[in-house]
Amino acid sequence: MPLAADVLTRIDSQVAAVRAQLVADRRDFHRYAETGWMEFRTASLIARRLADLGLDVAVGRDVVDEAGRMGLPDPQSLEAAWARALDQGGDPVFLDAVRGGFTGVVGSLHCGDGPCIGIRLDIDALDLQESDAPTHRPSLEGFASVNAGAAHACGHDGHAAVGLGLAQTLIGMRSALRGTVRLIFQPAEEGVRGAKAMVAAGVVEGVDALLGLHLYSGWPTGQVAPGKSNFLATSKFDALLTGAPAHAGGASHRGKNAMLAAATAVLNLHAIPRHADGATRINVGRLVAGQGRNVIPPTAYLALETRGGTSELNDYMVEAVHRVLRAAAAMYACDLEIRPMGEAHSAVSDPALVERIAATVRALPGLSLRDAAPGSGSEDLTTMMRRVQQQGGLASSIGLGADLGGFGHHTAEFDFDEAALPMAVRLLAVTVIDLQSHPWIDGAVP
Amino acid sequence: MPLAADVLTRIDSQVAAVRAQLVADRRDFHRYAETGWMEFRTASLIARRLADLGLDVAVGRDVVDEAGRMGLPDPQSLEAAWARALDQGGDPVFLDAVRGGFTGVVGSLHCGDGPCIGIRLDIDALDLQESDAPTHRPSLEGFASVNAGAAHACGHDGHAAVGLGLAQTLIGMRSALRGTVRLIFQPAEEGVRGAKAMVAAGVVEGVDALLGLHLYSGWPTGQVAPGKSNFLATSKFDALLTGAPAHAGGASHRGKNAMLAAATAVLNLHAIPRHADGATRINVGRLVAGQGRNVIPPTAYLALETRGGTSELNDYMVEAVHRVLRAAAAMYACDLEIRPMGEAHSAVSDPALVERIAATVRALPGLSLRDAAPGSGSEDLTTMMRRVQQQGGLASSIGLGADLGGFGHHTAEFDFDEAALPMAVRLLAVTVIDLQSHPWIDGAVP
Amino acid sequence: MPLAADVLTRIDSQVAAVRAQLVADRRDFHRYAETGWMEFRTASLIARRLADLGLDVAVGRDVVDEAGRMGLPDPQSLEAAWARALDQGGDPVFLDAVRGGFTGVVGSLHCGDGPCIGIRLDIDALDLQESDAPTHRPSLEGFASVNAGAAHACGHDGHAAVGLGLAQTLIGMRSALRGTVRLIFQPAEEGVRGAKAMVAAGVVEGVDALLGLHLYSGWPTGQVAPGKSNFLATSKFDALLTGAPAHAGGASHRGKNAMLAAATAVLNLHAIPRHADGATRINVGRLVAGQGRNVIPPTAYLALETRGGTSELNDYMVEAVHRVLRAAAAMYACDLEIRPMGEAHSAVSDPALVERIAATVRALPGLSLRDAAPGSGSEDLTTMMRRVQQQGGLASSIGLGADLGGFGHHTAEFDFDEAALPMAVRLLAVTVIDLQSHPWIDGAVP
Amino acid sequence: MPLAADVLTRIDSQVAAVRAQLVADRRDFHRYAETGWMEFRTASLIARRLADLGLDVAVGRDVVDEAGRMGLPDPQSLEAAWARALDQGGDPVFLDAVRGGFTGVVGSLHCGDGPCIGIRLDIDALDLQESDAPTHRPSLEGFASVNAGAAHACGHDGHAAVGLGLAQTLIGMRSALRGTVRLIFQPAEEGVRGAKAMVAAGVVEGVDALLGLHLYSGWPTGQVAPGKSNFLATSKFDALLTGAPAHAGGASHRGKNAMLAAATAVLNLHAIPRHADGATRINVGRLVAGQGRNVIPPTAYLALETRGGTSELNDYMVEAVHRVLRAAAAMYACDLEIRPMGEAHSAVSDPALVERIAATVRALPGLSLRDAAPGSGSEDLTTMMRRVQQQGGLASSIGLGADLGGFGHHTAEFDFDEAALPMAVRLLAVTVIDLQSHPWIDGAVP
């Protein structure tokens, strides 16, 4: 990171100015947690703030492809959540734009010629009831989620706040910038449902370098793992089997038993042979079949997912899953509908970009490098990374420790160390400016 | 039926007097349909009327054994239904007695020495939303169920009304009676859940002859099948499998997969070998397993039932079901809880009693005999019949046609011909007086 | 049975003349037991005897349709059995005709105009090692099977002897006969494999009345059940699943696991819903899958059968079996071959014919009537009965008791009372002559 | 390898002297291929040669623990193979010692004080019919296996020859030796059945350093991978399920269906959750169930195996396999017998020993180092390695390339380059002498 000392000093001064706002924003998003495709209040307030700061803002259908959305809630739920967002102080203008489940926002800062640097920030909460234990800081300090069954238990509230703080910081550094910075606020990362629709809408077209930040509550605050990309490719499906009901006591031969089809599918899905080339996973997480006790079950619903060490391994599992489901349906003369509910790829961060970020981390006091632990999760940042790399651009994830010595991601007691928020803004601001000045970034995408 | 002509004339006159009330009562019970164990309004009004007529009334815990109740709703539902009954005009005094799911009523008419004749009448509605089609008479004439999701689609509203009309008729015939008539109003016949608790409370102790009436909308009005007893024995269970959750992507070996246990159980339950000695049936009507898509499913719930041409054949199936469920749980190191939710026996009506009733039918103008079709249903009247027969008493079911040319039992459009109501009262009144006069009934129970 | 007394006397005299021969023949066939499609010695000697008696004899491909044969042994086994038959004294001329598995024989006795009466006699032994216990009469008296793994444990040796005795008796009664008597000696009844091929070759074309006799060791000797026809329709299949092998340790994803397909099929075949209209059965009697312990199993073989109270119920099961097998194969990308190995229909003996035979039984001293017990077996006489009835002819089975107080059919210790042999000849001879004289038999087949 | 030049020269001279004998021995063993526990001729000739060379020879029950033997052939096969060995020129004296399946041999060369170096050589052939293609060198040159169904398709013929050549070489180098050299000729490595019984008999007690050599036909001749130890731990089982037969048509409820139990087991064995800590494998390679088509299957036999990246992971699988099998048996009221048929551990070669051997390889002309490819096989050398390491000794496997550009191990056309045989003797001889002189080997085992 050969950034001039004065530039660094200016960045630090900007970051200091946003420090209190970062915490306030994070806690506001946390308090009004909104789950995937229903981040109406969150997205509208982000868009309002970016617009007020002077960024070019695109929102709603301009940045979210309607058909590309996966795992969308039903229309009633969407409308109820939208009405709630209006009640809870969403921005009325932008609420119109995101209505119906188009909750992506892109803010662009144009500074003349030069490369396009993309920063992806995910903003959705989880379907989870937040802890009300007095030892849980959000409860203690009054910013626990007021929305029942929705909680920011993965740090995306922090990501959203960092995005806003970064926008303000870069505005303050405008004279040191060139090219374009594009801040991409993505909905519905949980369930890996949202990135595909934003990519389909073109939000990463022309991006020379893409960065995706994630906070990790299990790492010491300030430790950074650039290029953490050991994500498993994954596909999420719902399967619906439809047979025919019949009275179990008197006419079972007239039924088409969807529960038996589902039971057969579940057993044989777990028996799909493992692939010798790497990790493969299958899970059927939910099964609901049948109606009354004395009725041949006419319907069955399965929620399942596959994973693979690479996208190819995941494809192998997906193909086998389809074959098993089709055959199980045919065995009981049932109809089958398979609905894609989410997907993410495997991805490899570009080594040159990773090394550049690592150099920055080494140069910045307060940060240190760590290795990313081998992981078993999935992340749809990879869908954006793939598209950027296909165009010739570079992409890297960045993990940042934000330890609160506490509970794991996706638990009711999750929290993180807010001291990481200004660290994240500083690291991203420095990295953006550093990357803008390098010829191998500029023009990476022809 | 060698009943004296004048007695018959008096009965007919009594029945004529209750004709309008029968329809009014039936429609009132229909309008305020209440499902099993929650017949609070129905039972309290029955008890009130019997008491007003001068019968000895026993109600609540005196006639319903607490531990014998099967398939009880949860306490919240019971309380909500009780409060609704209060709102809808239930009798406040008797409502106290039936609170908490003790909705049985027994009214006794004592007339000196002589045999004890029991009449069983079931009073509960079904979990079903009644049709609001304008062609559906209850809708057209304004007595469709006002209680969402509860409907009298099996004629038990008619049975309750017949019981009240019979009480009034017999009071009017008091001088012609001897011994005891015991009117047994039973809750929760649907799901065969209620008879066991009333038998356990002793309601059929000392009964020399037991009659159970059922209206059938599919038979021509006035056709009677005494001794219809081709009921299948049945057992209803809920099974709960409890394993352990784990993250499907990273720690599946830590899970105990209750869904796989359930799928294995479902397949193997259906593979229980059929018994060569007669009909055997198994159905798993409902299966709900798992939580999130990416979590090893820690729980599974199955609702199932067995049937058998005889109680012995049903016992064979029950034993096999237990073995399969236990093994499936053990296979995945899951805990298993099996909850009985209902049961009924096979039963054979006593031929001598059947023939006596048939003679009555042949002698009464407006009624005719029919054979009972071979059936595949179950009925917990059989539980009472068994107990009566064990004591040395006699028992018979009586089917009575009440055709409305319409829809089947247990459908949203079910209705029946109200002209059958006075026919039922007349048939039962004549039969009671006829039976009281016969030595082989008197003293059947030592 | 209004047979003239002198005719009866003549028949009795003829039967007396064959009595010793009946036992000798039965024991000879017993000693050289030959299983289905390999009755080379048996068939050749039957043909020789019929020809010597002066009947018109058709044999081999003339009476067995090549393509209609089911469950044929492999060519090596056929040839080895043929060579053995030559060694064991088969008739060289007729051995040529039956070589390769064409072991049916039809002997016809033409006596001018009149109806055609068919008598079906099955001649094959079972795949079973006969008992060598000293208490087993065939061992004790030296006529136990010398052919390892083949035993007459179902009385077909007796049927064959009865056929020969009947031929000789009828020759002696020629002057009392009219029309045609057709003696049909059928191979491969065990496994219900042979009748179809003889019907396809036309052996029952033009038959006005068909009789099929069976001895039952479990009934008292001399008891007769005409019209025993409570046979279950049945279909026998072999199913072969062919997948692909792979090293289980290192490349399981390259395999196509035929054993998993077979296991899935077995479980789901047993879960085919029972039909409410009557008895249905399924059994998979044999399953062989895989090769080495560490190889993904590339092949699986299943031997299975369905049964039904009627042919329609059996068809319902067959269709379901095909659907399950096809789906199980598809689930594991395996190829599937289904080979028919046997089939028999349900059939109803014609009541008029049954009553006619019953009248004969009632009239003959030494015989008595019995009801046929409800049964659960199958018999491919039904295939011939069906064809005769389709043409307008009449058909009936006849069961005859031949009790030796002993062991059941299809056991190693089976034997029967040889006193039943002359009874059978007498009953059949009387019945043939009786039937020939009745107009409703003559010309039954237009 | 700091061996003195003159010692090396002497070794080379010794190896040159055995070169022709190595090929002759290998071809002799190849021609008379004997499979596991039946290496009667092979073992007796090895023992004879070692004795003639002057080594202390232990054989039979002294080196093979009776109860520790797994996957033993049945007594008839053992006796037939023993008789054949006598016919084919086995040594009569030692044949007595190995009779009954005790086909291990240990030859010890004692040279005063000093460490004990063990060399393990496996000697069994595979159950495989060798190719008779004219392009297959053993066929072309007349040393293809004359024993039907047995073939040296994994190079153990070579290992046995190397052991003999090494014995002769070391005898010639006696003056340069100290301590003890123990040559361990192990039966039944295929199926990982033999090592356990030799370890139980104490053959590696007191060994300071253990070497195990394997030839690999897929590697260029002369390439050496010391420390190849990426073996999967494995357990081999047979499972026998015993239920009860019944007539499928008439009494299926009396049966206990072992095939359904087996099918359930097969599906659920494949559904055992994979362990997150490393590779786990399961395969059911063979399933045979049932008898006749119309009999409820009373028996089922399964041949299966588990594997794990470590012995702990394999233990996890074994425990799950037992649980699934027990539950499947209980589900159908079947008895279960589980027979261990083979087992091997994971093992890690000691790095110091590996590096010492690598140094030797680097120093010897004609040899070169290679990395061992990640593998998926198993090897019961690991059982000996574990025991040596438990005592404080060191152990390492050594892979040596013997490329014939041809077919893989365990195929009918397998062959290898015999030029590798003297290379192997030289490498082992040099390594033995090198190791004997090092203090950290001497006394490794306290």
Name which of A260, A274, A324 is nearest C253 (Cβ-Cβ). A274
Strands of A137-178, DSSP E: 150-151
Other C-beta atoms within 10 Å of A135: how many?
A: 9
Distance of CA C63 to the CA centre of its chain: 15
Q: Do B273 and D267 touch (CB under 8 A)?
A: no
Q: Is D264 on the interface with B (CB under 8 A)?
A: yes
Distance CA D438, CA D429 (A): 15
What's the pLDDT tens digit per position in B371-404?
A: 876 556 789 999 999 999 999 999 999 999 999 8
**Chain C: nearest CA to B412, how far in angstroms?**
25
CB C206 within 8 A of CB C116: yes
Residue closest to B63 by CA, chosen among B41, B43, B87: B43
- Which of C236, C291, C294, C307 is the best substitution to test chain D (most D C-beta atoms within 10 A)? C294
User: Minimum mean pLDDT among B47-51, B404-408, D168-172: which range?
Assistant: B404-408
Q: Do B284 and A297 touch (CB under 8 A)?
A: yes
List the subunits that have 3+ CB pairs under 8 angstroms with C. Answer: A, B, D
Report the greatest alpha carbon distance in chain C. Answer: 86
> Which residues on chain A are in Cβ contact (under 8 Å) with C255?
273
> Residues A197, A201, A207, A213: is their CA dihedral positive or negative?
negative
User: With the CA atoms of B214, B220, B226 and B231 taken in that order, what torsion angle do they form, in degrees rounded to the nearest 10?
Assistant: -60
Distance of CA A435 to the CA centre of its chain: 24
CA distances from A405 to A400, A411, D432 (A): 15, 14, 55
Q: Is D126 on the interface with C (CB under 8 A)?
A: no
Residue closest to B184 by CA, chosen among B46, B356, B351: B46
DSSP state, C169?
A: H
Region B51-78: mean pLDDT is 97
Which stretches of chain C drop beneath a pLDDT of 70? 1-2, 229, 373-376, 406
What's the pLDDT tens digit per position in A324-380?
A: 999 999 999 999 999 999 999 988 899 999 999 999 999 999 999 998 765 567 899
Region B16-31: mean pLDDT is 98
CB A401 within 8 A of CB A370: yes
What's the pLDDT tens digit per position in B279-290?
A: 899 999 999 999
Q: Do D331 and B316 touch (CB under 8 A)?
A: no
CB B388 within 8 A of CB B204: yes
Strand A299-308: give its sheet, edge to edge.
Answer: A335-344, A233-242, A299-308, A280-290, B280-290, B299-308, B233-242, B335-344
Tell whether the model's pLDDT for residue A1 goes beyond 60. no
The single residue listed with the structure tokens 């006790």 is A293
CATH number for the segment(s) D5-230+347-436: 3.40.630.10
Which stretches of chain D drop beneath a pLDDT of 70? 1-2, 229, 373-376, 406
Name residue D308's beta-bridge partners: D233, D280
Alpha helices per DSSP H over A185-285: 195-200, 258-270
Residue closest to C426 by CA, chosen among C366, C371, C381, C370: C366
Scored b (16 or more CB within 10 A) or e, A311-337 reads bebbebbbebbebbbbbbbbbbbbebe
Distance CA A403, CA C128 (A): 77
What φ, ψ does residue B412 adopt, rounded to 5°?
Answer: -65, -20
**Chain B: nearest CA to C374, how far in angstroms?**
11
Distance CA D33, CA D362 (A): 35
Q: Do A330 and C326 touch (CB under 8 A)?
A: yes
Which phi-psi region, left, alpha or beta, contains residue C202 (left: φ > 0; alpha: ψ -120 to 50)? Answer: left
pLDDT at position D229: 65
Exposed / middle / buried, residue C12 (Cβ in 10 Å: 0-12, 13-18, 19+): middle
pLDDT at position B374: 55
Say whether A336 sits in a helix, a strand or coil: strand
> Which residues on chain D are in Cβ contact (under 8 Å) with A271?
267, 270-271
Q: Do D286 and C292 touch (CB under 8 A)?
A: yes
List the subunits that have 3+ CB pairs under 8 angstroms with A. Answer: B, C, D
Distance CA A432, CA A116 (A): 10
What is the per-residue DSSP string for A354-374? HHHHHHHHHHSTT-EE-PPPP
The single residue listed with the structure tokens 């993990």 is A399
| Mean residue pLDDT across chain A | 93
- Which of A230, A268, A272, A274 is the best substitution to test chain D (most D C-beta atoms within 10 A)? A274
Other C-beta atoms within 10 Å of B259: how many?
A: 32
First CA to last CA across chain D, in angstroms? 25
Residue closest to B347 by CA, chosen among B195, B243, B268, B230: B230
Q: Is A47 on the interface with B (CB under 8 A)?
A: no
pLDDT at position C125: 96
Q: Do C268 and A264 touch (CB under 8 A)?
A: yes
Distance CA C365, CA C356 (A): 16
The number of C-beta contacts closer than 8 angstroms across A and D is: 14
Tell whether the model's pLDDT for residue B25 goes beyond 90. yes
List the subunits that have 3+ CB pairs under 8 angstroms with D. Answer: A, B, C
Q: Is B288 on the interface with A (CB under 8 A)?
A: yes
Distance CA C86, CA C80 (A): 10
How many residues are there in chain B? 446
**Chain A: nearest CA to C297, how far in angstroms?**
12
CB D245 within 8 A of CB D332: no
Distance CA D158, CA D163 (A): 9
**Chain D: nearest CA to A259, how far in angstroms?**
17
User: What are the tokens at A187?
Assistant: 């909905």
Beta-sheet pairing, D394-401 with D209-216: parallel
Domain D233-343 top-level CATH class: alpha beta
Q: Is C260 on the interface with D (CB under 8 A)?
A: yes
Name residue B286's beta-bridge partners: A290, B303
Exposed / middle / buried, residue B108 (Cβ in 10 Å: 0-12, 13-18, 19+): middle
Name which of D253, D260, D327 is nearest B316 (Cβ-Cβ). D253
Distance CA A244, CA A297 (A): 7
> Which residues on chain B are in Cβ contact (under 8 Å) with C313?
none
Tell whether the model's pLDDT for residue B229 goes beyond 70. no
Give percent of chain B with pLDDT exceeding 70.
98
Other C-beta atoms within 10 Å of D100: how many?
A: 18
pLDDT at position C437: 83
**Chain B: nearest CA to C279, how far in angstroms?**
9
ipTM given for this complex: 0.85
Domain boundaries along the sequence of chain A: 5-230+347-436, 233-343
Region A46-66: mean pLDDT is 97
Q: Do C260 and A251 touch (CB under 8 A)?
A: no
Residue closest to D51 by CA, chosen among D109, D112, D123: D109
C424 CB-near residues (< 8 Å, 6+ apart): C158, C162, C213, C215, C400
CB C388 within 8 A of CB C210: yes
Exposed / middle / buried, residue A74 (Cβ in 10 Å: 0-12, 13-18, 19+): exposed
User: Minimum mean pLDDT among A78-87, A120-129, C241-250: which range?
Assistant: C241-250
Distance CA D433, CA D219 (A): 26
Distance CA D203, CA D182 (A): 9
The single residue listed with the structure tokens 């531990």 is B67
> Which residues on chain B are in Cβ contact (under 8 Å) with C274?
274, 281
DSSP state, C130?
A: P
Beta-sheet pairing, D299-308 with D280-290: antiparallel
CB B168 within 8 A of CB B14: yes
Distance CA B297, CA B246 (A): 8
**Chain C: nearest CA to A323, how far in angstroms?**
6
Q: Is D368 on the interface with A (CB under 8 A)?
A: no
What's the pLDDT tens digit per position in C144-179?
A: 999 999 999 999 999 999 999 999 999 999 999 999
Distance CA D249, CA C136 (A): 27
- CATH, domain C233-344, list 1.10.3720.10, 3.90.1170.50, 3.30.70.360, 3.60.150.10: 3.30.70.360
Other C-beta atoms within 10 Å of C354: how many?
A: 21
DSSP state, D219?
A: S
Other C-beta atoms within 10 Å of D311: how many?
A: 20
B158 CB-near residues (< 8 Å, 6+ apart): B26, B215, B402, B416, B418, B420, B421, B424
User: What are the tokens at C400?
Assistant: 């005859």
Say whether C245 sits in a helix, a strand or coil: coil
Q: Do B283 and A295 touch (CB under 8 A)?
A: yes
